[in-house]
Chains A and B, each alone.
Chain A
Amino acid sequence: MLDLEIVPERSLGCEAWEFVLGMHFSQAVSIIQSQVGTIRGVQVLYSDQNPLSVDLVINMPQDGIRLIFDPVAQRLKIIEIYNMKLVKLRYSGMCFNSPEITPSIEQVEHCFGATHPGLYDSQRHLFALNFRGLSFYFPVDSKFEPGYAHGLGSLQFPNGGSPVVSRTTIYYGSQHQLTRSASGGRCSAPLADLPLSCYKHQLHLRRCDVLRSPTATLGLRLHIYTEGVRSGEPASSRRRVVRFGDSCQAVSRALAAPARLYYKADDKMRIHRPTARRRPPPASDYFFNYFTLGLDVLFDARTHQVKKFVLHTNYPGHYNFNMYHRCEFELNVQPDKCESNALVESRGAVCITAYSKWESVSRALRVCERPVVLNRASSTNTTNPFGSTFCYGYQDMIFEVMSNNYIASITLYQPEGARPHYAVNSIA
């Protein structure tokens, strides 16, 4: 049984690890994975069709804990303990919930002090006691309901038996509404900023603008933030530009050293090249993996210059889910079929973000090419349960689209032959 410390408005955890509000999904997963011996049977709940409107949830049924993540930011917004019997809880070192100690209303008040009178939710028959960033819910038998009209004190429980906490939530902000907004499965709790303890010397991305000329991609402008030179310093944000043709030194100077280096193995897509160039090259191109930026940068093996960017959106239901953070890119594309129609031209560029749906994008751009079906499966013996994704090429971009119409990744490449060769000017 887990023995955890509650910090209202902040965290739930023990000495070795803690779930902190504002923490990214992947970090919570890695904590759970590090506790593989004690936390088992974990469920990840998400909406396949509406991944942005329904909360992303990690449910730990054997520990009675549920972590609710904002589906857009993919960061922790509510920690919910929905089965008090499966976990031991402390506050400021004092245990208030364990197999021996029943979390009665008196116990809670003894441990946490006084607060405003509780609120009653007649629909759910729940009585909520709110502290700042912390709420306790007591189930109340409906026969006591009439008595509530006169406040908590008027509730009379037979035999001195007071109600027992059935659920605890930790959240950011002063008050948590149990009733959720009707927009569908998304809790309306304020989202904490990424806590400093979760930076871990990584770079994080606020936004990524794709720099484009009318028809070609030039590079990326990344708005990154990281902790300062001295640890504990508030986050400092910077804007960095990386372009096609940049060297490893330029990219690693702008975006720090990559988390990992990946040498491209045998390139399966080489079969689609012209015959003359299909032979495998003797050198292998390599990726700089920036997992926390949701970005991969591909370098040419010979020139050591950038030739491709891959931006990931990290939707649940994709093969690569939880490998990258979401890259919040913004891409303005000038449709290249607008000469015929002046109306389209006046409408201007099509804005594509990590949250765009492909049907609207393809309608605006009038992409009508045949897709490539990508059925990822690991080279080992497992298969991909999420089905295939579809890749569409448009200008110098490739959109990988999931079956729910969201964009899983964008590949920006430099068309071969478009590389700038500065020919030596000949006078003769």
Chain B
Amino acid sequence: MSAESPRHARAGGPLTVPSQPPSDRSIIDAVSGFINDVTLSSSSTVDPKDVIQWARFETADINEPTPEGDIDNDVPPLLLILGYGSGVQVWLIPPTGEAQEVLSWRQGTVRVLRILPTPQHGDCFASKRPLIALCDSASPGPAFCSLSFISIRGGEQVKSIKFKNPILDVLANKRSVVVSFSERFAVFDAATLEDRLAITTCFPCPCPLGGNSPINPLTLGDRWLAYADKKLNPSKRSSGGCESEGVTSYTATVLHAAKSLSKGLRGLGESVAHSLAGGRSTSQSPSPPHADIQQPGVVTVLDIEGNEDDDSQDCEDPCDPIVAHFVAHSEAIIALKFDPSGMLLVTADRRGHDFHVFRINPHPCGPSLAAVHHLYILHRGDTTAKVQDIAISGDSRWTAISTLRGTTHVFAVSPYGGACGVRTHTQPRVVNRLSRFHRSAGLPIHGAPCAHSPVCEGMGAGAWFPNPRLPPYPQPNSSAPLAQLRPTHKLATHTITRTSSGRQRLSSLSEESGSAPLLARACFGVNGITGRAASVPLYLMAASGALLHLALHPRAARNVPKEKISDESPIELEVEAMAQWPLQRPPAAADLLAPLPPSNPLLQPLSCRRCADMCMSEEERWLSQVEIVTHAGPHRRLWMGPQFVFKTYNSTGSNSSLSEAEAVEVDTSAARGAARSNPVNMPGARPVVPVLVDSGSASSLEHSPSDSFRRKSLLAESGRAPSVCDVQLREDLAEAMKEDHGITGRFEAEPEELSSSSFSSASRASLDPPSSPTPSCSGDNLMHFPGDSSSSL
């Protein structure tokens, strides 16, 4: 094949690339699991200016996640930024359609290009949006030391900020723009682009990218920012974290670290000139002699939005901006990533053997009361590999970690921790921590270690509500990658027409070392229209310049016999190549510069999210908003017994004293005689037909024997004759009262008995004409017909 194939089309309009089917060969190989790819490409050398240096999947207004269910085909497009040896290229890729180039130029070396999300409040640049943040070699002054904000609508530069240190990276969300430098970073307000905060105590990270540019690992959630801290401050330390490591250096820093952390937190107003300038400034108080002792692997999670809400102005003590502060690794951290919900943090250290997954459990009173659960140890291998990117799927069940060897490792995780198996990962939706089986068996949430430890029993009396901030914390699960993906192409490959979707399953030891860093970036798509139930789309940007669309199909491990597959069975991943886009810039592509033409997708207002609800009457719209179940209740509710029996006072509003009142048992058994007075008093009674909602399971006939069994056991426990139990209980209660009170008309009130609705099959037949409620029918509580309505549903 040749480069002349019409893979890049620019017929007056923007450059587009249609998706190509992966070659048949690669699909077959994907099934077999081992691939020796065939490269048909010519290996002509490429102009270094056209070599992709970096790639980034961007989230901007155009592909912001939408609320579920709002739009039918609501799979947002991908936005991919490619940085070349010279110039940059931005692609918009819909899930199946044509990739379209939306921004491109060939001049200068671009270090950072971000498309800034539009802030929601107080936007000073509303008419200029969307803005890009650009750091390139073209700007005057030292290289990469200034950040320009450029409107791609009008083409003008709206703001430029000069720094004295080279910019390493820029992160942005709707509230903040974070600019990172070596060992420090600064936070700017997204709406005004004014400085707000600066931190100068980042751990000086080694340079993994060939030593030429250091990195400063940061990750930005909606409000929080996590960074690698220089040292551990014991007074701020959260409980939990990585228990196995980092203990040795703890004592060394105890004495000296006390105040350094809070000093590092300063408003940028006073410190931007000094601390960001890089020189030893006077504002940095003379450090104690041991202040240079640094501890690698410490992570600090910071709330960079501060207290702009009106709620904390009258707070007695100022709110600590630190959310959590803990040890994540024993080595220097080189990559951090929040999951889309922002509660999980995935970290990677310098060696890259094991990645850690933490769940942050904050407390409003500060980091020392917070707890960090170490959920997973993701074991990549025993060779050293530098992580260049971490991607986490939208439901936080999959994480893909790419190393500089060009390999992307896919791991299964759960947002709540625990082993990943068939139950948790082969269904399209996230399931709860405990299966129905677990709950009905009464198994504890953290499994065996908790059940046997005396600590847990001691807690038993007080642990009436779960508190994730109190120990015992869950033990981390260790897991191996389910797939290791490496598009197998030579870096210098130019034309990549037919192959490129190969995949190789590598043992980690076989990875050759010493090769040049290979670009790999992963991004999970939204599981929208793909056919198979639990498949996860994964987009992989390879060094060759091809974007691969893979589908990960989790399924029960093949070495487990079918009849033995249970909820806990291990899973494996089948990787299917779906499509590919060769996005490498052709040698003579024209620029596509700001100001962009109005037809450019980046400038399109968000498609008006139509609402199908609008056609519904106001009256009906709220129905679908009713929540039936909001929590995982215990298997047995309190009133289900057997330890507890509920009784009501039947003398309503009488002024008889409490202990003398007659009580009637709330009956939880199904086969009682007299039903509750029917129909139930309807609040605001109106003769209208209510809509019935029944959250129960289908009729379960088997409940009757077990229920009566339970009653018997209750009676046996209390050592009473299994006579007419209600009467017996009532008499017992009366007797208990008689011992200490005079008899004052105790039996005056009529006993009113509550009966339960039952789920016998008869109850399903309650559509029969509701002429007059028959009190003897125990099943008619399922459907109430308030008033005298005689219509049926």
Q: Smallest Cβ distance from B47 to chain A, in angstroms?
A: 36
Which stretch (B63-71, B178-186, B265-273, B548-556) binds chain A? B63-71
- B342 touching A41 by the CB < 8 A rule? no
Is A102 an interface position by the 8 A CB rule?
no
Chain B: CB-nearest residue to A55: B658
Which residues of A, 222-249, contact B by the 8 Å Cβ criterion? 224, 226, 228-229, 236, 238-241, 247-249
Is A277 an interface position by the 8 A CB rule?
yes
Q: Smallest Cβ distance from B775 to chain A, in angstroms?
A: 14
Complex contacts, A337 vs chain B, CB 8 Å: none
Q: Smallest Cβ distance from B766 to chain A, in angstroms?
A: 11
**Proximity bits, B628-669, A CB within 8 Å = 1, else 0:** 111111011111100111111110111111110101001110
Is B693 an interface position by the 8 A CB rule?
yes
User: Which of B311, B528, B654 is within 8 Å of A184, CB to CB?
Assistant: B654
Is A256 an interface position by the 8 A CB rule?
yes
User: Which of B467, B621, B680 is within 8 Å of A201, CB to CB?
Assistant: B467
Complex contacts, B653 vs chain A, CB 8 Å: 49-50, 53, 184
Known contacts A29-B638, A282-B428; A302 and B67 CB within 8 A of each other:
yes
Which residues of A, 366-409, contact B by the 8 Å Cβ criterion? 367-388, 390-393, 396, 398, 401-405
Cα distance A422–B191 when bound, in Å?
13
User: Which of A250, A276, A289, A358 is within 8 Å of B631, CB to CB?
Assistant: A289
> At the interface, is chain B mostly helix, strand, loop or mixed?
loop
Known contacts A66-B659, A203-B364, A417-B614; A269 and B693 CB within 8 A of each other:
yes
Complex contacts, B460 vs chain A, CB 8 Å: 34
Q: Smallest Cβ distance from A388 to chain B, in angstroms?
A: 6
- B696 touching A167 by the CB < 8 A rule? no
Cα distance A137–B636 when bound, in Å?
38
**Proximity bits, B671-686, A CB within 8 Å = 1, else 0:** 0000010001111101
Known contacts A124-B741, A201-B469; A45 and B648 CB within 8 A of each other:
yes
Which stretch (B348-356, B515-523, B598-606) binds chain A? B598-606
Complex contacts, B629 vs chain A, CB 8 Å: 262, 264-265
- B315 touching A269 by the CB < 8 A rule? no
Please give the number of chain A residues whose Cβ is less than 8 angstroms from any Cβ of chain B in the complex: 174
- A416 touching B343 by the CB < 8 A rule? no
- B684 touching A359 by the CB < 8 A rule? yes
Which stretch (A3-11, A149-157, A291-299) binds chain B? A291-299
Complex contacts, A320 vs chain B, CB 8 Å: 633
Known contacts A17-B461, A296-B630, A370-B690; A43 and B647 CB within 8 A of each other:
yes
Is B29 an interface position by the 8 A CB rule?
no
Is B462 an interface position by the 8 A CB rule?
yes
Which stretch (A93-101, A303-311, A326-334, A346-354) binds chain B? A303-311
Cα distance A403–B681 when bound, in Å?
6
- A386 touching B754 by the CB < 8 A rule? yes
Is A27 an interface position by the 8 A CB rule?
yes
- A385 touching B527 by the CB < 8 A rule? no
Chain A: CB-nearest residue to B65: A302
Is A342 an interface position by the 8 A CB rule?
no
- A427 touching B153 by the CB < 8 A rule? yes
Complex contacts, A16 vs chain B, CB 8 Å: 458, 461
User: Which of A45, A82, A263, A375 is within 8 Å of B649, CB to CB?
Assistant: A45
- A374 touching B69 by the CB < 8 A rule? no
- B625 touching A413 by the CB < 8 A rule? yes
Is B748 an interface position by the 8 A CB rule?
no
**Which of A179, A182, A260, A411 has the most chain B CB atoms inside 10 A of its CB?**
A260
User: Which of B61, B432, B605, B691 is within 8 Å of A371, CB to CB?
Assistant: B691
Is B195 an interface position by the 8 A CB rule?
no
Which stretch (B32-40, B142-150, B248-256, B698-706) binds chain A? B698-706
**Which of A238, A300, A320, A362 has the most chain B CB atoms inside 10 A of its CB?**
A238
Which residues of B, 554-612, contact A by the 8 Å Cβ criterion? 598, 603-606, 608-609, 611-612
Complex contacts, B682 vs chain A, CB 8 Å: 371, 390, 403
Q: Smallest Cβ distance from B220 to chain A, in angstroms?
A: 10
Is A210 an interface position by the 8 A CB rule?
no
Known contacts A269-B624, A417-B613; A44 and B646 CB within 8 A of each other:
yes
Q: Smallest Cβ distance from A71 to chain B, in angstroms?
A: 10
Cα distance A222–B775 when bound, in Å?
45
Complex contacts, A49 vs chain B, CB 8 Å: 652-653
- A282 touching B527 by the CB < 8 A rule? yes
- B684 touching A381 by the CB < 8 A rule? no
- A263 touching B431 by the CB < 8 A rule? yes
- B362 touching A253 by the CB < 8 A rule? yes
**Which of B343, B415, B428, B614 has the most chain A CB atoms inside 10 A of its CB?**
B343
Q: Smallest Cβ distance from A204 to chain B, in angstroms?
A: 11
- B221 touching A247 by the CB < 8 A rule? yes
Is B718 an interface position by the 8 A CB rule?
yes
Q: Smallest Cβ distance from A65 to chain B, in angstroms?
A: 11
**Which of B129, B316, B667, B682 has the most chain A CB atoms inside 10 A of its CB?**
B682
Q: Smallest Cβ distance from B391 to chain A, in angstroms?
A: 16
Is B13 an interface position by the 8 A CB rule?
no
Chain A: CB-nearest residue to B755: A385
Q: Smallest Cβ distance from A382 to chain B, in angstroms?
A: 5
Is B512 an interface position by the 8 A CB rule?
no
Cα distance A398–B622 when bound, in Å?
7
- A370 touching B689 by the CB < 8 A rule? yes
Cα distance A424–B742 when bound, in Å?
78
User: Which of B67, B643, B702 is within 8 Å of A416, CB to CB?
Assistant: B67
Which residues of A, 259-290, contact B by the 8 Å Cβ criterion? 259-265, 268-274, 276-277, 280-287, 289
- A54 touching B649 by the CB < 8 A rule? yes
Chain A: CB-nearest residue to B636: A382
Cα distance A272–B69 when bound, in Å?
14
Is A252 an interface position by the 8 A CB rule?
yes
The 10 nearest A-B residue pairs measured at CB: A393-B622, A381-B703, A30-B464, A377-B696, A257-B361, A247-B222, A417-B611, A385-B756, A272-B623, A17-B461
Instruction: Show 5 residue pairs from A and B whose CB-CB distance is below 8 angstroms, ordered by the A residue.
Output: A44-B647, A50-B653, A239-B314, A300-B68, A372-B690
Known pairs A273-B624, A372-B693, A384-B757; list 9 more (Cβ under 8 Å). A40-B717, A48-B754, A183-B655, A187-B658, A241-B309, A250-B223, A280-B429, A385-B667, A387-B680
